[in-house]
Structure 1
Amino acid sequence: MTNIKLSAPPGPVRAPGPPPGKISGERGAGPAGGHKRTFRSRLRTDWPLLLLAAPGILLVLAFHYVPLLGNVIAFKDYQPFIGIWESPWVGFENFKVLFNGDAAFLRALGNTLIILLLQVVLVFPAPIALALLLNSLMSNHIKQWVQSILYLPHFMSWVIVVAIFQQMLGGGGLLNAMLRSADLATVSIIGNPDLFKALITSQVIWKDTGWATILFLAALAGIDQSLHEAAAVDGASPWRRIWHVTLPGLRGLIILLLILRLGDALTVGFEQIILQQQHVGLEVSEVLDTYVFNNGVIGGAWGVSTAVGLVKGVVGLALVLGANKLAHIFGERGVYQS
């Protein structure tokens, strides 16, 4: 009998040439595999997207970057009737007014910092708490209905919001009318200097909390529910699951929004405060934004007001850069990667 020798089947025949991933001109091959796309080729390919983005880019340039050139007023004795470039240079004289202990500036700075602290402590956590509450609702129909109601105040202007609070809490408002009908003493809320900061903080919470929950609800939807189920099986209470599962899942978003909020740390609501400033006076209501308006636009101290705005922008930039660097140290992404 003839012995038959078996051999392994031959592998696939490969044509001679460069190995896979190294073919000349293959996208993603890198410098060793061929040519990279040049700027001209990318421009030729992506021009429709660039054309769509052009109006937004032009608006940002026209209303955010071109006005930055006006900061030169901070170093001049600006006179509107002779123009920016003809106004005489004064160097840092406008900044000396700020750092030499100007009483009005220090008062505005103090009020700004107090309102900022209230907003960070009370306003910033409010959307997180509301998102957790809405996420606990089992019925999606009720959840959507409640969300629609809570989003509505965001689309109201501050003129309408202030008017609503005056009609509710003013001397002749609904609250005092109910107290009078019950033969009770009325309360003074609108126009009370002692309650002004608490009043504007509550207005911000009422107006913007519902809208700010959108991001947190989206982040909550991305948390793996199996983590909650595993924690429940291990005996974790609802509060422990929120602390050990939900909040860690929101940590990156919370840090990102907090860093962005620091960029506007010294901006605490110009329109909201200027509408109510006449009821309580400048002593408790003057902030940096209204200081710029009252001294620059109304008082004519254009150089000093521009110097305040420039310092405020520099401080905001420094806070963002510092907070972002701190986030990287603790292993978070932050706003951008350095």
Structure 2
Amino acid sequence: MYRRVLKPALFRLDAEDAHHLTLRALELASAAPAWPALARRVTAPQGAALSQTLWGQSYASPVGLAAGLDKNGVAVPAFGALGFGFLEVGTVTPLAQPGNDRPRLFRLPSDEALINRMGFNNAGGHALHARLAALGDRPAPVWVNIGKNKTTPNEEAAQDYRRGVAALYDVADAFVVNVSSPNTPGLRALQAAEDLHRLIREVLAEVERRRVRTTRRAPPVLVKLAPDLHPADFTDSVNAVLEAGAQGLIVSNTTLSRDGLTHPNRQQSGGLSGRPLTTRSTELVRAARQLTRGRVPIVGVGGIFTPEDAYAKIRAGADLVEVYSALIYEGPGLPARLNRGLARLLERDGLKHVQEAVGVDA
């Protein structure tokens, strides 16, 4: 139904208009009594083969929703109903901001890709806190992706990230430090090893400050890196993440590369996501696994359209994977298809549990 009816209709609309329309529908669906929980019984994995415990949290599936689709956490129950093992909301900044001027989101159908230059448009940390606090029982762990406001200079960026932790500590199951979006001027400079180490230490200090004031388990802190780093810089950044004490890596964010694209929208500025990142992101997951040697979990992101794509990232070293662009092209049945397909691939290879596959090709 999605491919034959809904997708053609949505693709006739401006990409951002279609995004808001879909998100509004999911927001309304989230409010429907009992529906999200009932749907999740069908879409989420039923056996133990895909379940994991990471950072003391249970993940029914390794397949998660990447940040950017539900920036303000308005449709968490509906996304949970699709069968995701975890959901990442944001990027959220301390203060609400409108983001960059429209148009700022573009489809590249012939490349199965998206280009965005959204610019961290969001309603701010306090608005997100109110929504997540009102959820009650969650369908899956909810991670919060935090960033700095556009007007905050890099010299003061750490204070914005600390404010994000302070505002959302009691509702976040994990924090993701986003220093890799190409759409906030100067942000990617924070990936430099020395600056990154200092920033992570500040974030971890704020987490610890909040932990001692409450009885709540401290949420893990993960760092999201870009796919455009020079190999030596990537190595330095990964080492900085480990030395600073972060508990995980997300590899990777959108890219500025336009290699191999065919659609006219390839000329648009912004970060590219989708199918063109499949191979590159898997290579970076493998490199990160070799550098970390399993010391922290890795989340693989970029161009996951099929169970085979997800499985390749897991075998390269990803404990978890995330999707975004493929959801636009494949529709809401994608998470359940990935779950079923991963279970079949594990069975094909004689593996009883997904952790047995993590990093076997690294």
Q: TM-score, normalised by structure 2?
A: 0.20
Q: Which has the larger radius of gyration?
A: 1
Greater length-normalized contact order (CA 8 Å, ≥ 6 residues apart): 1
Query: Which protein has the bigger helix share?
Result: 1
Query: Which protein has the bigger strand share?
Result: 2
Q: TM-score, normalised by structure 1?
A: 0.21
